Structure 1
Amino acid sequence: MTKTVQISTEEFAGRLAEIRRHMRASKVDVALFDEIEAMTWICGYANSMNRWRCVIVPIESDPFILIRALDAEPCRQGTWIRDVYPYRDWEDPMPVLASLLAERGLSSAAMGLDYNSYGMSYYRLERLKSVLPGLRTVDLGQLANDLRLIKLPAEIELLRRASSIADEAMRRAAAACVVGGSQRDAARVATAAYVELGSDLATHTLICPAIGADFIHGHFTDGPLSRGDVIHLELMPRVSGYSARLMRCVSVGEPSAKLAATAEKLIAIQDEQIAALRPGALASKVDGILREGVVRSGLRDSYDNITGYTLGHYLTQTPRSSDFTRTFHPGADWVVEEGMVFHIYASADQVSMSETVAVGSNGPELLTQFPRRLIVNEA
């Protein structure tokens, strides 16, 4: 559970006004948001889906929150919204919601939903329609996610703090990758650094052997490290829910000439891609710099994953470990804007590199500052 204390009430009011502007354009009278990310952006609070919860935004009257009774008081402490309505754990929340909407004359309203919301299952949607038979639903798409793409200076500052934690945690975790050590040692060191340096708890770390090209989501292993091993580290500390990302690889002992050359080539191509992250740049063109460059250089035969994605606010309870509201791929027809923040990442033949990058008026700013190089630990 997260209380967003860095965002002002005035900013939340501005977000509400922007949502209502889109509601009017879509001709809906009320909107329902039940994804963790959307709820947090709108009201400053969200929690797990052990029991369903939502934020309701009428076009005219005040917004309100429906939530299980156990979480009602933490919700009141964490949100600017005045009206928080609880229901008991064994109750069906849909009749409660129907009653609250009826009180506001919205039983037969046009309701905006995100049809792709992981919170609104088919069963829940059918229950909603059964208790509100006059309701008409309209797909608003990922409205809240689209609106939160442009970060406030305060949000970028949280990402900058998370990035500095990632830098120091990487230094410490990489140093633990030595002959006789283990991936678990590196994970323990990284986690201790998170806690010491001010990261949120339950922050994620990916550590695995670097084998081939598509290794970055590989499996954590417990065996001792040996000379010649290459270890992939991806650190994801969060500060007040805002997550930075940083990937590096560690050679245990002197790297082969091929490994060193691969790292050098990949870094040079990624440097060019990051330099292109400027307001007005077409995302597919930015993507092509790395994707086509890696294949053209012979580092990979094909490049089948995206080369970057949105960074921002993540809660531990979300089913999404990454925010793909905007991603870099060959068909990406959207435009880079000032205030966006991305995880730009690349991998090829045992080498992994990534950065947290903010887009400023004059171009990219690397929020992560750890040297972008192959890390070599003497055996």
Structure 2
Amino acid sequence: MAFSPQEYRERLEKVQTAIQQRGMVGLVVNSPHNICYLTGYHTSGYFAYQVFLVPAEGEPLLLVRELERPNADEYSWLDRDQQAVYLDNEDPPVVTGRWLAKLGWTEAGKPIGIEKTCFTLAVADFEKLCGTASPNTVVDGSGIVDRVRLIKSPQEIAYVRRAAAITDIGMRTGLAALAIGKKELEIAAAIQQAQTLAGSEYPSLPNYLSSGYRMTLGHATATEKVIEAGDVLKFEITSSIRRYTAAMMRTAVMGKPTGKVAEVADLLIRSQDRAFSMMKPGAVAGEIDAAIRQPVLKAGLRKTYYSRVGYSLGIGFPPFSGEWETCDFMEGDTWLLQPGMIFHMIVNANGISFSETILVTETGSERLTSLPRELFVAG
């Protein structure tokens, strides 16, 4: 197990308190991120239906595909009587409905919560779940577990710290491998090998790498494009330990950078430095956002800047590693930073990008990714 049974119990109790406050009989948890957080169970086979039934009081129940049951034994803290399976010739929402009835949820005087925003919950499955919950009603329980996840425990922080060290290794390897005439895929292969040998599991996002005319593309993965003299390259690397992730973005240039590229990079780094110096418990998110966003706009580096400049980071499964739906940095935000929060902080303009994984400490903040934040000049 990634954590002690006691830590899982403490997480469960916090979620159950939130369920009680919402007046629900229980919560149907569909998100692989949230199931992993509460149980330790995980699999890359979450393309198949899986749910964790969390009652307002009492013991929970994990329902997974029969093929995946050994993973529950391997990774979760749950006893066998807290696990159930469905067969491939059964309809999973119907099986879930039978368990809802057996647990007394369908006849309860309080509604059943379900994570409506979960990306793995198909519309057809949701509609069937609503039917099998009858005569009870289903209400939106999205965000309950996600909000509990925002404050990381010491062990969670330790995993992210290890992932950050591997991200540093991967980025250093990629930058060192740069050479005119190489393909982007050759650089990507070196990065991935270094990460794997350093101990990273499969990441929650692919490593992104683009060069030359491709560097302005968002979320661009490596291709057979050949790296040329004068190319500017954009990297974004993510590593994972026990499903906890750390990410970093860097920009490199093949040969002496033009004055404009160097100028943009310098401004982005300076604005981010100011924001990092402001990150501490009680700081207002919108003020940190402005420290990054406003200098970019004022300098005319972007006509508009609507994308988030940071988001909460934690457990990751493809296709995303962040908790951005629950907590991110946007213009005018009023929420406050708290110790134990971890963020992926980003700045970009004209395709030039930098980012770090940042921990909010009791007295300030700590940059977990440690590679110098500067424009890398290769060749």
Q: Do both share a fold (TM > 0.5)?
A: yes
CA distance in 2, matches of 1:298, 1:212: 22
Normalised by the size of structure 1, how large is the TM-score? 0.93
Q: CA deviation at 1:211?
A: 5.1
Percentage of pairs with the same residue: 29
SS state of the match for residue 18, structure 2?
Answer: helix
Q: CA deviation at 1:260?
A: 1.5
Q: How does 1:71-110 map to 2 (within 5 A)?
A: 71-82=68-79, 83-109=82-108, 110=111
CA distance in 2, matches of 1:155, 1:267: 28
CA distance in 1, matches of 2:133, 2:249: 49
Instruction: Name the aligned partner's letter for residue 301 of structure 2.
Output: L
Q: Which residue of the partner structure matches residue 225 of structure 1?
A: 227
Q: CA deviation at 1:210?
A: 5.6
CA distance in 2, matches of 1:210, 1:218: 12
Residue-by-residue CA offset, 1:51-78 (whole Å, 9 max, x unaligned)? 2110001223311111111111221221
SS state of the match for residue 335, structure 1?
Answer: coil
* 1:6 and 2:7 are equivalent in the alignment: no
Q: How does 1:204-353 map to 2 (within 5 A)?
A: 204-209=206-211, 214-218=216-220, 220-316=222-318, 319-324=319-324, 325-353=326-354
Provide runs of 4+ in structure 1 moved above 6 Å: none
Q: Is the contact between residue 211 and residue 349 of structure 1 (CA under 8 Å) also seen in structure 2?
A: no
CA distance in 1, matches of 2:269, 2:315: 27
CA distance in 2, matches of 1:175, 1:322: 28
SS state of the match for residue 49, structure 1?
Answer: coil
Residue-by-residue CA offset, 1:273-316 (whole Å, 9 max, x unaligned)? 11111111111111111110111123223212111111111124
Q: Which residue of the partner structure matches residue 180 of structure 1?
A: 181
Q: CA deviation at 1:202?
A: 5.0
Where structure 2 has 5 or more consecutive residues not aligned to the other structure, the ranges are none
The alpha-carbon distance between structure 1 residues 240 and 44, as it changes in their structure 2 partners (threshold 3 A), is: same
Where structure 1 has 5 or more consecutive residues not aligned to the other structure, the ranges are none
The alpha-carbon distance between structure 1 residues 8 and 297, as it changes in their structure 2 partners (threshold 3 A), is: same
Instruction: Name the aligned partner's letter for residue 262 of structure 1.
Output: V
Q: Is the contact between residue 210 and residue 232 of structure 1 (CA under 8 Å) also seen in structure 2?
A: no
Q: Name whichever of 205-214 and 43-52 sits farther off.
A: 205-214
The alpha-carbon distance between structure 1 residues 243 and 52, as it changes in their structure 2 partners (threshold 3 A), is: same
CA distance in 2, matches of 1:213, 1:222: 14
Instruction: Name the aligned partner's letter for residue 50 of structure 2.
Output: R
The alpha-carbon distance between structure 1 residues 27 and 103, as it changes in their structure 2 partners (threshold 3 A), is: same
CA distance in 1, matches of 2:351, 2:213: 5
Residue-by-residue CA offset, 1:156-187 (whole Å, 9 max, x unaligned)? 11111111111121111012221111211210
What RMSD, in angstroms, separates the aligned Cα atoms of the two structures? 1.8
* 1:123 and 2:124 are equivalent in the alignment: yes
CA distance in 2, matches of 1:176, 1:212: 19
The alpha-carbon distance between structure 1 residues 96 and 221, as it changes in their structure 2 partners (threshold 3 A), is: closer
Q: CA deviation at 1:213?
A: 8.6
CA distance in 2, matches of 1:105, 1:301: 56
Instruction: Name the aligned partner's letter for residue 170 of structure 2.
Output: A
Residue-by-residue CA offset, 1:10-52 (whole Å, 9 max, x unaligned)? 1111111111111111111121101111111111113333321
The alpha-carbon distance between structure 1 residues 202 and 349, as it changes in their structure 2 partners (threshold 3 A), is: closer
